[in-house]
Structure 1
Amino acid sequence: MKYAVDKKEQFVVFTLLEEKLDSTLSPQLKSELLTVHAEGYKNLILDMESVKYADSSGLSALLVGNRAFNEVGGIFVLSSLQEHVIKLLKISMLDKVFKVVDDNEAAAEAIFIHEIESGSEKDEEEE
């Protein structure tokens, strides 16, 4: 599986450099997402600009990543989706589950907002 990882202070940008996210790649993607999570990062942007096709096993890998990052109070953001992948998310009603944005800049902004909101929730709990 071809991909690039760019580790920032607040988040990781994981860029999938494959055209198909299917059963041949899904197990490896799950593993890589969980590895990043295990390294202590709470927030991840999955840049899927290169992905032209995804199937149910691909969606399963995305759900694993989404659950892992959400469990620690982080956010898992899908960025730069192609039309086929957007349609698949809508058909499977997962567009309501995932945070989907147009590009990595919007994804970074979503993480920033999430951090502020989750920080203010912690402040309220402490009062």
Structure 2
Amino acid sequence: MNTIGNVLWFVLGGFISFLTWLVMGVLWSITIVGYPVGRQCFKFSVMAAAPFGRQIEFGHGGVSFMFNLLWIVLGGFAMAIEELTMGIIFCLTIVGIPFGLQHFKHAKLALLPFGAKIIKTGT
């Protein structure tokens, strides 16, 4: 079931989230200082391509907090708005609600990517 959900997700708009994370990763990786941020973006682009069967566990810490503040100012807020908008659009139909919920999950991730881990669930 996760495979079917992931295929439908990617075809029906998940590729937009995937491309957004990928482009942000490339832009951040241009400099040596931004490389850790870019690496994080690449990790989450995989999550954005196939979110069903995966959960996000958010961690806490001082360094994560500082990176998250910097991230929100330099791109995270725009990504969160994009994900929220797509989530609202998908939730307008009953069939789109599971996809909208995934976008809402990604919106939180777009605000707080540092300290977050992807955990595979189910089969």
TM-score (norm. length: structure 1):
0.30
Greater relative CO (CA pairs within 8 A, separation 6+): 2
Q: Higher helix share goes to which structure? A: 2
Q: Higher strand share goes to which structure? A: 1
TM-score (norm. length: structure 2):
0.31
